């Protein structure tokens, strides 16, 4: 490449600056003032006595707003969650959107768990189970949606721990 090195440096910096501007605006989204006021006036924010910085408030407001919108937009389904394990785990937890749907306290007999739940369409169920030995373990989950005959079901295999997801389709009928 021929030419003055300072001129080449200036051209490279100009090209980088031209690319940096749109990338910066895409990655640094700003919340609208209306949504920020709505969240910062919530009882949780008013009740807290600790001072917060503007960036911490904006980050908390954005995450709270996205969680509110994601749970409000998606319809829910009444269902029964059945879990069969062999052998029974020491710890069992099934969650969706941070809500505990089933724990080892929902055991109805050795290796069987059942609970009535509200699930959100389009959000995965997060499954985790722990056993005390390294032998193979099986875990089978059935989601029986009220008013719908075909269950959602999935089997999992693991040794000491099982951590996986069961997708709940957004296009699920009921």
Question: Which tens digit of pLDDT belongs to each residue from 90-108?
Answer: 999 999 988 999 998 989 9
Q: At residue 155, does pLDDT exceed 90?
A: yes
58-74: pLDDT as tens digits: 444 444 444 544 445 66
Nearest to 159 by CA among 141, 140, 135, 143: 135
Note whether 67 and 35 are within 8 A (CB). no
User: Which of the four pLDDT bands, split at 50, 70 and 90, describes residue 148?
Assistant: confident
N-term to C-term CA, the chain:
65
β partners of residue 91:
130
Nearest to 142 by CA among 161, 163, 117, 173: 117
Q: At residue 48, does pLDDT exceed 50?
A: no
Task: Name the 3-class secondary structure at 29.
Answer: coil
Ramachandran angles phi, psi of 127, nearest 5°: -115, 135
Pick 159 or 37 by higher pLDDT: 159
Per-residue pLDDT at 140: 94
Looking at residues 128-138, what average pLDDT do you find?
90
Per-residue pLDDT at 165: 92
Q: How many CB atoms lie within 10 A of CB 65?
A: 16
Pick 157 or 33 by higher pLDDT: 157
User: Which of the four pLDDT bands, split at 50, 70 and 90, describes residue 55?
Assistant: very low
Residue corresponding to tokens 């269950």: 151
Note whether 133 and 89 are within 8 A (CB). no
């Amino acid at each position: 490449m021929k030419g003055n090195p300072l001129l080449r440096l200036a051209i490279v910096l100009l090209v980088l600056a031209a690319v940096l501007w749109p990338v910066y605006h895409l990655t640094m989204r700003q919340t609208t003032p209306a949504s920020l006021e709505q969240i910062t006036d919530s009882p949780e924010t008013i009740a807290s006595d600790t001072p917060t910085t503007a960036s911490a408030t904006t980050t908390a407001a954005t995450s709270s707003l996205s969680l509110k919108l994601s749970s409000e937009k998606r319809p829910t389904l009444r269902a029964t969650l059945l879990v069969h394990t062999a052998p029974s785990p020491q710890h069992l937890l099934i969650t969706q959107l941070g809500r505990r749907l089933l724990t080892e306290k929902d055991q109805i007999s050795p290796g069987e768990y059942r609970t009535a739940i509200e699930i959100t369409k389009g959000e995965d169920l997060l499954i985790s189970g722990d056993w005390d030995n390294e032998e193979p373990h099986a875990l089978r989950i059935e989601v029986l949606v009220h008013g719908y005959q075909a269950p959602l079901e999935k089997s999992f295999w693991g040794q000491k721990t099982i951590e996986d997801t069961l997708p709940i389709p957004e296009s699920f009928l009921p």
